Chains A and B, each alone.
Chain A
């Protein structure tokens, strides 16, 4: 167990090779999607599959309309879960990155932290759910705590890996130019670590949602988790599916936002942004020098 891990998100390279135009590809995908949905719907209507278990696509669409527009009750629950997950994610990331930076800066701290990290890694952290509900009560704080606990690990490990992954040669260059410790940290270690750190943050956002949902399953008054649990318990499966689809949708949006941030922050990894940025800096320097 001496090896440590680095968790990272690799982009899905599934859609690499399209033949023909993008429009054609979208059209083909759409046709396949509708064929699948049609078969599903037909299987349901002819009684091959039980609508109680797998509701019809049309029913699901009707339920989406119902919970978003006619009843409009989903907005409140979405907001609750979103708030819990985001606050938890923020706390978890701050703790994770803080611990990681402390561990990188102090060898002694790292040494003593190591066995506890192995234990924390091996424990299914989500299992603390019932204990947290007992500690923090049935309200928002227990969900925030579980989300923070579940998501702190990926940023922690990735920050350590990134910060320690500095090349020996660059470090020597910094040293030979007489950089202070602080300069080495901010100008060398942090920029080197940023891609890995961002990958960790991406993972953290996803797992924070998972943590908040599980805490809600255990006990809650509001939130997507308890909403879906109530719907399935009353066998109102179309509405439950509508809830699940909303979670997927918001997960997707968050994921895209994280990717965009990733691209913006790591501008030196993409040629376009790098060119734009350097032009901007050049004009700024020219302006300052009065050229």
Chain B
């Protein structure tokens, strides 16, 4: 359903030096949070609605260093999200590859794919809880279900949209079906597949958290809900920040994978990989120029 193209849209237009930029951003940040803090301290902002930034920060500190209660929830949530991600992505990509290879399967799978597309995955939460129980497995199942669609549709789109010229070149050079798949279809689909994986990563985290909201005994999601229902808002904001950190770390991981795998999309990486391969080739075959 979603493919993502990337170009640095939000990249700044005005050229400031990095230090200047950092200073400006820092200043804006300080003004916003300073205003919020003062507002909360002076009672303009209700503590129950928006707790002061310092009390949220203190609560974070307490969670991580004093009681250390967050680590267990953190590990569980990450484990559930990652397992769900792996399962969902394997199923999604497996189905997509099958559909790309076999037109018959594609034809008969199509209506069900449409059904999956239009049903919000998280609507299935109550069923998943009823089927898989209140433990870890239900969270993993929901994460897998929520994140399976983007890799599926992106892999399929990527594998089917091959440049006509490239196809003809491969055919005229007499490539086998296998060679065509591995050397042409997969590399040209990789950027869009990885875009799908990025979406899936967020989806897996969302699925885990929603399943935890619905019913769980451990995990950051339930921690946050408990805090919120006890009107312990600084605690629930701290949990929210922990979730942001999770999202950011997973996002960075995907970006790193993007950077490593899609080396041909960045000039510097292309040169790096090219010179490495050249050295390897020369070592294997001997230097002809010498």
Contact = CB atoms under 8 A, between A and B. Distances in A.
Contacts of B113: 12, 14
Contacts of B233: 131, 134
B214 interface: yes
Nearest to B132: A53
A105 B210 CA distance: 37
A115 B110 contact: no
Nearest to B128: A232
Contact of A10 (B48, B153, B199, B231): B153
Contacts of B264: none
A4 interface: yes
Nearest to A120: B244
Nearest to B212: A127
B130 to A, nearest CB: 4
Contacts of A107: 12-14
Contacts of B214: 217, 229
Interface in A82-139: 103, 107-108, 110-115, 117-119, 121-124, 126-131, 133-135
A56 to B, nearest CB: 15
Interface stretch (B85-93, B165-173, B176-184, B245-253): B245-253
Contacts of A112: 24-25, 28
A7 interface: yes
Interface in B247-278: 247-248, 250-252, 255
B7 A217 contact: no
Contact of B231 (A2, A7, A134, A213): A134
A269 interface: no
A247 interface: yes
A228 B6 contact: no
B213 A214 contact: yes
Contacts of B2: 7-10, 203
Contact of B228 (A110, A114, A123, A131): A131
B127 A240 contact: yes
**B interface bracket (residues with beta carbon within 8 Å of A):** 35 or more
The 3 lowest CB-CB distance pairs between A and B, nearest first, are A14-B110, A130-B228, A251-B118
25 contacts: A3-B6, A9-B2, A12-B113, A53-B130, A103-B10, A107-B12, A110-B12, A111-B12, A113-B10, A119-B248, A123-B247, A124-B202, A124-B205, A124-B243, A126-B209, A127-B243, A130-B224, A209-B123, A217-B125, A217-B213, A233-B130, A240-B126, A244-B119, A251-B119, A251-B120
Contacts, number: 216
A115 B48 CA distance: 27
Interface in B72-110: 99, 103, 106-110
Given A131-B236, A134-B231, 13 more contacts: A7-B2, A8-B4, A10-B2, A18-B107, A32-B108, A108-B14, A111-B12, A127-B206, A134-B228, A210-B121, A214-B122, A218-B213, A255-B118
A17 interface: yes
Contacts of B125: 214, 217, 229
A271 interface: no
A15 B110 contact: yes
Given A6-B5, A119-B244, A131-B233, A126 B210 contact: yes
